[in-house]
Amino acid sequence: MKRWKFFERIKRDKIALFSIAIIIITCAAALFAPYLSPYPFAVQDPGAILKGPSLKYLLGTDRLGRDLLSRIIYGSRVSMLVGFTSSLLALIIGAIYGAISGLAGQRTDNFMMRIVDIVYSLPDLLLIILISVVIGRSVIGIFLALALVSWVTIARLVRGEALRLKEQLFVEAARGLGASNLRIIFVHLLPNTVGPLIVTLTFRIPAAILAESTLSFVGLGITPPFSSWGTLANDGWSAIKFYPHLIIFPSFAIFLTILSFNYLGDTLRDFLDPEMRYK
Amino acid sequence: MSQQDTKERENPPLSPFFKGGLILAFILVPFLFPACKNRNTESRQIKGEKVFRMVIASEPPTLDWSLATDNVSFHVITNIMEGLTQYDDDLNPVPAIAKKWETSEDGKKITFFLRDNVFWNDKVPVTAYDFEYSWKRLLNPATGAEYAYFLYDLVNAYEYNSGIIKDQALVGVKAKSGKVLEVTLKKPAVYFPSLTTFMVTFPLRKDIVEKYKDRWTDPGNIVTNGPFKLWKWEHEYKLELTANKDYYGEKVKIDWIKMYVVGENNTALTLYETGDLDMVSIPPLAVNYYKKSKEYINTPQLRGYYYGFNIRKKPFDDMRVRRAFSMAIDRKRITDVLKGGEIPASSWIPKGMFGYNENIGLKFNPEEARRLLAEAGYSSGKGFPEVNITFNTDAENKLIAENVQSQLKENLNINVKLDNQEWKVYLKTLKTKPPEIFRLGWGADYPDPDNFMNLFTSSSGNNNTDWVNPEYDRLIAMGAGTKDRALRLKIYDDAQKILCEEDVPIMPLFVASQNLLVKKYIKGFKPNAMDILYLKKVAVEK
Amino acid sequence: MIKLIFRRFLWGIPVLFFVASLTFSLMHVVPGGPFDKEKNLPPAIQKNIEEKYHLDKPVITQYLLYMLSLSKGDLGPSYKYLGRNVNDIISQTFPVSLELGLWAFVIAIILGISTGIISAVRVNTLIDRVSQFVATAGISMPNFVLAVLLILIFSEYLKALPAALWESSRYAILPSLTLSLGPAAYISRLTRGSIIDILGKDYIKTARAKGLSEPLILFKHVIRNSISPIITILGPLGATLVTGSFIVEYIFSIPGMGKFFITAVTNRDYPLIMGITLIYSALIIIANIFVDILYSVIDPRVRMK
């Protein structure tokens, strides 16, 4: 029932439709990059170094004479992968942690929340930098680093929901029927928090994409041969006066995608849970 | 989803006092922090005084010249201090505080004679004892100086520094009188007067260092003898130097130097454009834009960039493979991408240094490269394992590696993977398990081929290739003590042929270059190949 | 109440202790040391330096030594900036970051709340849509892109504001603007949502029925009651603005503490890494306690835990 209402609402909201279209296009670009991009992403044309947009190279070329459009299309792969993976990872860790903490209550809860306090008071960026230097060199390092700093917010959210749901009849009933804690977490608790979690996810993804671009700026971004939008933007930001295409197109890709995610997140939240606005 | 509103959100009205206070607090808070406001009030600058404004890339890690190792500290120290010798415009050591020096017949004893009219800026004369104290402090293990090895040519210097002997009187430096300094060397070193241009050999005031301890370099404490003196040091932000009236040499033409700490090249460039700086170095991507400008200056540096092989790792234990790689790379294509006036290089001694010979080294020759590779058993790249090129994370290094990657694919049909590591992680990797191909650079400590060629001897701490060649070692040791220039040239030619044509443990790629913008009203500015900045010759004619 | 606040502060001490231990161990897992350089040092010199800074001792001993001096309030000497103490470095650079952060904080609040209110009052009109679009746009761009855009427009083309450095208040405008646009957008959206929500409540309807004027209702009832969700994010936000300024400080060459986040780690300046981590953690803890206090002042029913 609710699902249909959602589609109906979306149909009336042009910006939401537009956002969804952008997200679908970006995902498609990520999935089908080899078929969509006009050139392989690493091919270099020594005769066309740092050329502006032309018919041959629609968005121009970079310092090695590579087609920028192709690199942006391939870049969507990494950026989306970073966004989705690190957010999902954070979500899983946070949700399970929060659920256990909330359900267990009392001492365990207290202890687990103190750990959250500690992680929460660590400066994100320093932690990310340290972790990615330790793990280093791989996409996985970045997933982990981003996930490890953002799971606490989710843990707090889920714990709150857990505390609330715990007191409710159906959970008490399940417990009365002898359901195990694990069963309660996965069958009763988590499904009931799906709404807020989806909303959180739509906000986490763009945050992760932005965080990755910040990491690129520090020189700890994705390593070659891959390049993300963040690394592309970082390669070009200093050239804004000299070769504006290097910075304009990648940041526009970032901008549009993040904008879409944020707008979709807003719409979803308004729809699923108006109260969520406060969190 | 259950939507019971458990938490009531209808709050009771706030007290107006609280609300007002909150708003007021937010508005007032910034004004409670006046730190930003009056930074410049104490500057005593008088109108009409000549000011030179430049940037330094970071906060100087220290101004203690025994401990300083980096370029930024060096830029500051070389303008407030002078040593026994100094470079002229062509990087030859010429007299500074020493008016002359004499080398003994066997080349092992050098006697420096100091000028009589040199004073510290508190009017105390500079003596040979100040040098002796400074050098022994540099070598004292407790000082923990990184550049102590600069004086390892002295008798007993290494022994004292490494704790083998405790008596510093045995070290080969002695003030014979206030104006005569006698240096005893282990073996002849023709480049020694170049070493004494470097900051770690500058004299030190024992009384000052002992009085202020760690704080002796603070403005007000520090005592120097150079053309300028330290006036103000706002950490992480700015250093100000003023003309030193007690300087023995020619009167300087600028009254103030402001050195701003600007880490980001592009920020510095913008400040230059908005007229806040008189000189700036151009970031790589902007060089092309300014090439035609009248303010543009390009100077090749004595800084080589190379790829090294770990010759223990297969298939790079085969020198035919290493030669093939070196021949398969067109250096010109790399410098075309870099666009900063870098010079393609196939030999190791950089252009502008004694011993440079552009005819040495393997030139770009893809056919011959393929032939060599086939000879080694990998005809048209078949069966050749995937190769890793490792470098430290940096935009330029990445660009070069990506270019080399594509050239090797094109010319040898070899697949290359790129691996980058954060700088310190990378240094650790190089030390413990050098990758099959790695990137490194080397900047001259002194403009003598010995400094470059010594790198790949078997005893060098910086030879990460594991390559050992006794003949090469012999040539380098001979070169260091040979005074006859023609003979010396021949020695280095032979050594370079071993290094770059026969054994090929490294492939030199290019020689770096410096790109500057200097305002037209700045006169007398002469950049040199070692990025040494003597501002005493510079004038501002606005 | 005061007892509770005191207890919260007390709890901050063990948290800081754990933060210190965690950072210390993470730091030592990272390969490479403070004195590794491009030019390798002879072993004898390496040994001298390690002895000078106690780096030759086992990590456990180093840890204990550090904790001992920390308990005396001494953050140790910097390994990079020789002859300077981490205490000095922090006391010189932290006020700058704090000032920059506070400017950004104020701009974010003023900009965020005002556009939020306008949006909410004129909900679903063009003004609302445009300001919400701009607000969303504000959080959709990497900081460094925003920074170069602002510099290009205001410094290079309009020549209205300084491009970098830190001389007078004018120099704070561009960097604090860069820093605040994202949070401003966030506050704006939050305010809008919160006010729209309150506007739908019964007591507002009652007030309207009583014939109170719209502005009076807005200022007396709506804004006052919708402020609590905004207060909750102010603490973390304040901490983020002060701690998250590293890109801005770097691009605008501001002598603050933010840039040590990168340089201290890349230099492996262990004492400095520890120092800034502790300062920032303390800041986050204090910010959170502050919010809790504010919150319980606004709404006495919310008890401090």
Domains of chain A by range and CATH?
A: 2-45+56-277 (1.10.3720.10)
Taking any CB pair shorter than 8 Å as contact, residues of chain A touching chain B are 42-44, 46, 49-50, 63-64, 133, 136-137, 164, 168, 192, 195, 219-220, 223-225, 235, 238-239, 241-243, 272-273, 275, 278
Higher-confidence residue: B472 or A275?
A: B472
Based on its alpha-carbon atoms, the radius of gyration of chain C, rounded to whole angstroms, reads: 24
Mean pLDDT, all residues of chain B: 89
Q: Give how many domains chain B has, as a whole number.
A: 3
* Confidence class for position A235, pLDDT limits 50, 70, 90: confident
Measured between beta carbons, the chain B residues lying within 8 angstroms of C103 are 30
Q: Kindly state whether residues B465 and B375 are assigned to the same domain.
A: yes
**Does residue B135 register a pLDDT over 60?**
yes
Residue A220 has pLDDT above 80, yes or no: no
pLDDT of B31 > 70? The answer is no
Q: What is the pLDDT of residue B205?
A: 96
Inter-chain contacts counted by CB atoms under 8 A, chains A and B: 71
Mean pLDDT over residues A251-279, rounded?
Answer: 77
Q: How confident is the model at residue B4 (pLDDT cuts 50, 70, 90)?
A: very low
What is the rounded average pLDDT for all residues in chain A? 84
Between CA B8 and CA B10 the distance in angstroms is 6
| pLDDT surpasses 50 at B461 | yes
- On whether any CB of chain C is under 8 Å from the CB of B433, the answer is no
Identify the pLDDT of residue C301: 55
- Residue B37, in any domain of the structure: no
CB atoms within 10 A of CB B237: 22
Rg over alpha carbons for chain B, rounded to the nearest Å, is 28
Q: What is the pLDDT of residue B281?
A: 94
Mean pLDDT for the stretch of residues B118-132: 96
Same domain, B368 and B463: yes
Interface of chain B toward chain A, CB-CB under 8 angstroms? 1-3, 5-6, 9, 265-266, 283, 285-286, 288-289, 333, 336-337, 393-395, 398-399, 401-403, 405-406, 417-422, 425
Q: Which of B13-17, B353-357, B427-431 has the lowest mean pLDDT?
A: B13-17
Q: Examine the pLDDT at B77 and tell me if it is beyond 80.
A: yes
Residues in chain A with CB shorter than 8 Å from the CB of C262 are: 129, 218
Residues B239 and B196 in one domain: no
Question: Which chains border B (3 or more CB–CB pairs < 8 Å)?
Answer: A, C
Higher pLDDT, B397 or A216: B397
Q: What percent of chain B has pLDDT over 90?
A: 76
Q: Which domain holds residue B253?
A: 3-30+49-61+227-278+519-540
pLDDT at residue B13 above 60?
Answer: no
Q: What is the largest CA-CA distance in chain B?
A: 100
Based on the fold, state whether residues B138 and B258 are members of the same structural domain: no
- Is residue B19 domain-resident? yes
The confidence band for B397, taking pLDDT boundaries of 50, 70 and 90, is: very high
pLDDT computed for residue A137 by the predictor? 59
Given a cut of 90, whether residue B521 has pLDDT beyond it is yes
pLDDT at B15: 41
pLDDT at position B44: 55
User: Distance (Å, rounded) from C-alpha A74 to C-alpha A37?
Assistant: 8
Last residue of a domain, one of B211, B241, B266: B211
Contact: A237, C145; criterion CB under 8 Å: yes
Mutate to test the interface with C, among B14, B29, B289 (most CBs of C within 10 A): B14
Residue in chain B lying closest to A235 (CA): B395
B505 plus B530 within the same structural domain: no
pLDDT of residue C37: 79
| Same-domain check for residues B186 and B235 | no
In CATH terms, the fold of domain C86-304 is: MetI-like fold (1.10.3720)
pLDDT at B470 over 90: yes
- Could you tell me how far CA A199 lies from the centroid of its own chain? 12
Q: Which of C180, C158, C165 is nearest to C249 (CA)?
A: C165
3-state SS, residue C117: helix
Closest listed residue to residue A226, CA positions, set A238, A245, A208, A212: A212
* CATH code: domain of residue B324: 3.10.105.10
Domain of B144, CATH number, reads 3.90.76.10
Q: Do both B380 and B396 map to the same domain?
A: yes
Residue C284 touches chain A, beta carbons under 8 Å: yes
pLDDT grade, residue A43 (50/70/90)?
Answer: confident
In degrees rounded to 5, what are phi and psi of residue B275?
85, 20
> If pLDDT is split at 50, 70 and 90, which confidence band does A25 have?
very high
State which residue of chain A sits closest to B6, comparing Cα positions. A164
Same domain for B422 and B442, yes or no, is: yes
What are the strands of the beta sheet with B238-243, ordered from one edge?
B51-56, B256-261, B238-243, B228-234
Which pLDDT belongs to residue A8?
Answer: 76
Q: What is the mean pLDDT of residues B157-178?
A: 94
Predicted local confidence at residue B26, as pLDDT: 46
Asked whether residue B251 carries a pLDDT value surpassing 50, the answer given is yes
> What tokens does B58 get?
């970071």
Q: Is the pLDDT of residue B392 over 80?
A: yes
- What percentage of residues in chain A have a pLDDT greater than 90? 33
Please check the confidence at residue B520 and state whether its pLDDT lies above 90: yes
State the smallest CA–CA distance between residue A43 and chain B in angstroms: 8
Question: Looking at residues A242-263, what average pLDDT do you find?
Answer: 92
pTM, two decimals, is 0.88
Q: CA nearest B141 in C: which residue? A: C48
**A contact set with C (CB within 8 A):** 114, 117-118, 120-123, 125-127, 129-131, 133-134, 206, 210, 213-214, 217-218, 230, 233-234, 237-238, 240-241, 247, 251, 254-255, 258-259, 262-263, 266, 274, 277-278
The complex scores an ipTM of 0.88
Residues from chain B contacting residue A136 (CB–CB below 8 Å): 421-422, 425
- The most confident of the ranges B127-141, C105-119, C250-264 is B127-141
Which pLDDT score, from 0 to 100, does residue C300 have? 59
Q: What is d(CA C271, CA B432) in angstroms, rounded to the nearest whole number?
A: 25
Question: Exposure of A18 by Cβ count < 10 A (0-12 exposed, 13-18 middle, 19+ buried)?
Answer: middle
Q: Confirm whether B44 is domain-assigned.
A: no
Cα–Cα distances in Å, from B354 out to B103, B300, B350, B413, B447?
21, 14, 9, 38, 8
What's B274's domain CATH number? 3.40.190.10
What is d(CA C245, CA C260) in angstroms, rounded to the nearest whole number?
A: 11
Distance, in Å, from the CA atom of B284 to the CA atom of C60, rounded to the nearest integer, reads 45
Using a CB-CB cut-off of 8 Å, the residues of chain C touching A234 are 144
Which residue type sits at A218? V
Per-residue confidence (pLDDT) for residue A277, from 0 to 100:
41
Are B132 and C27 in contact by the 8 Å Cβ rule? The answer is no
Q: What mean pLDDT comes out for the span B305-311?
A: 96
Q: Is residue B264 a part of any domain in this protein?
A: yes
Place of tokens 């510093």: B168
Q: Return the closest-CA partner of residue B311 out of B322, B300, B302, B301.
A: B322
User: Which pLDDT belongs to residue B5?
Assistant: 32
Greatest mean pLDDT among A7-11, B310-314, C28-32: B310-314
* Average pLDDT for C246-268: 88
pLDDT of residue B16: 41
- Measured CA to CA, the distance from residue B469 to residue B460 in angstroms comes to 12
DSSP one-letter code for A242: T
User: Which chains are within 8 Å of A by 3+ CB pairs?
Assistant: B, C
pLDDT of residue C239: 78
Question: How far, in Å, CA of B55 to CA of B237, rounded?
Answer: 10
Lowest pLDDT segment from A65-69, A216-220, B495-499:
A216-220
pLDDT at residue C303 greater than cutoff 80: no
Name which of B70, B209, B267 to mutate to probe chain C: the one with the most chain C Cβ atoms within 10 A of its Cβ.
B267
Q: pLDDT digit string (tens) for B177-225? A: 999 999 999 988 889 999 999 999 999 999 999 999 889 999 999 999 9
Q: How confident is the model at residue B481 (pLDDT cuts 50, 70, 90)?
A: confident
The pLDDT of residue A2: 57
- On whether residue B250 sits in a domain, the answer given is yes
Residue B12 pLDDT: 36
Assigned domain for B103 exists = yes
What pLDDT sits at residue B40?
Answer: 43
Q: What SS3 state is found at B360? A: coil
- Per-residue pLDDT at C101 exceeds 50: yes
Residues from chain C that touch B35, judged by Cβ atoms under 8 A, are 95-96, 99
Torsions phi, psi for C81 (to 5 deg)? -95, 90
Is B19 in Cβ contact with C224 (below 8 Å)? yes
